[in-house]
């Protein structure tokens, strides 16, 4: 299988939306997202939630509108994986300084000041028919390669250890990070921070 990886740009917004609309959750996952929440502060999220409630909007459509703006503005960054010209995987990877200091979920320590020069990997989503085929590893290797070329000193990941499958688990397993040379630097209540020096 020939896997092609492309950095997300506004020109690839249609491929991104096609993936999340049509392939990301075809295993009947009860939750559909567009990976928009990690880039949102508590205040931004509350504004969107208030609008959804007040106008009776579909949360999925509201999320889609948010992510369209994030892609256009360059707020959402990461990589799409393609097979045969079709987007089949996603990795949210960004400078840690670009994540909100006050995130929606308080257990997500993605933010770090710009001077630390660290890139964070916060989410993977792979189409069900392509899981277990090395897509996430290929995406993570591209993040590492580009981060090194861009002058970052480290890439940091945030897997969560669980005893059973969890539908919203998107941060990747510990073994994925270990496979490409990450080491565990901390753990609290099953939330692990893994780091690879560049």
Residuewise pLDDT in 10s, the chain (198 residues)? 899 999 999 999 999 999 999 999 766 655 568 999 899 998 998 998 888 888 887 777 788 889 999 999 999 999 999 999 999 999 999 999 999 988 887 777 799 998 999 999 999 999 999 999 999 999 999 999 999 999 999 999 999 887 666 566 688 889 999 999 999 999 988 889 999 999
Q: Does domain 3-197 have CATH number 3.40.630.30?
A: yes
Report how far residue 136's alpha carbon sits from residue 159's, in angstroms, rounded to the nearest whole number: 13
Query: What is the reported pTM?
Result: 0.91
């Amino acid at each position: 299988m020939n896997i092609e990886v492309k950095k997300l740009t506004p020109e690839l917004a249609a491929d991104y939306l096609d993936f999340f609309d049509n392939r990301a959750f075809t295993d009947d996952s009860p939750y559909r997202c567009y990976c928009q929440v990690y880039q949102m502060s508590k205040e931004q999220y509350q504004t969107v939630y208030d609008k959804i409630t007040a106008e009776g909007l579909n949360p999925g459509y509201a999320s889609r509108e948010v992510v369209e703006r994030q892609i256009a503005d360059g707020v959402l960054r990461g990589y799409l994986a393609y097979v045969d010209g079709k987007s089949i995987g996603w990795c949210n990877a960004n400078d840690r300084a670009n994540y909100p200091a006050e995130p929606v979920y308080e257990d997500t320590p993605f933010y770090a000041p710009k001077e630390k020069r660290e890139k964070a990997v916060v989410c993977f989503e792979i189409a069900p028919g392509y899981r277990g085929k090395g897509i996430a590893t290929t995406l993570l290797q591209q993040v590492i390669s580009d981060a090194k070329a861009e002058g970052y000193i480290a890439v940091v990941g945030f897997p969560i250890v669980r005893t059973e499958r969890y539908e919203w688990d998107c941060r990747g397993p510990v073994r994925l990070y270990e496979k490409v040379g990450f080491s565990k630097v901390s753990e609290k209540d099953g939330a692990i921070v893994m780091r690879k020096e560049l």
